[in-house]
Amino acid sequence: MAISVRVRDMPVLGEHPALDLVNTVFVRGGLRGQLVDALTTPADLADWITEQAEALGPLGSAPDPGPDALTAFTGLRSSLRRVVAAAAAGTDAPPENVAAVNTAVGAHRDTVELPPVGYGPAQHRTDAPDLPSAVLARVARSAVDLLTGPDLELLRACPAPGCVLFYLRTHPRRGWCSPGCGNRVRVARHSRRRGETATRPEDAR
């Protein structure tokens, strides 16, 4: 069973709305670490939605999600994880998970309008009954944009042992989802090399 943490304690945040949702489940402590879930309560979901305001555009009034909204987001997260994992591996995603994402995409519509003065920040309107529902649809649409657009080539599953996170390789030197994973891999490599060096004199006898 996953333990819970605050959204701001996620090792990777601000990557992409779809990946940020998938990455709310992660492993803390490397290969022998614990599974962690940053979305276990409606309050966690409210924090996560607030963190997405810049990426998703104006979100209206303060989020006030309930248990049903949390269930909807964690359900989309499960489907997105399988679809994103398949995309990163270059394999076909399970059809039921693709269908679930597409259903979330089409559940509510957004429109964008000019503000009354004719310029400046756009006004977003939605037929969603509440803010969490509108955000859920926007996150699903952002997944479509990611998985069908040019950023798909940048999608990576973190190669660090035990890590379950995804990231966009926006820099050629970026090889891990976070500095923490990179550091753990380097420390493990260093320890392994020291062990190999220590055993060589005995092997030579």
**Domains of the chain and any CATH numbers:** 3-203 (1.10.3300.10)
Task: Identify the pLDDT of residue 31.
Answer: 67
List C-alpha distances in Å: 159 to 92, 119, 139, 162, 174: 20, 45, 25, 8, 11
Which pLDDT score, from 0 to 100, does residue 142 have? 95
Beta bridge partners of 112: 124
Burial call 86-123: b when 16+ CB within 10 Å, e when fewer: bbeeeeebeeebbebbeebbeebeeeeeeeeeeeeeee
- Give pLDDT, residue 161: 87
**Edge-to-edge strand list for the sheet holding 3-4:** 3-4, 34-37, 25-28
- For residue 5, how many other CB atoms are within 10 A of its CB? 17
pLDDT at 62: 58
- Residue 28: what pLDDT? 85
Tokens of 23: 């990455």
Mean pLDDT by 10 residues, the chain (205 residues): 80 93 90 88 93 80 82 98 98 98 95 93 87 93 97 95 93 88 70 54 48
pLDDT at 190: 47
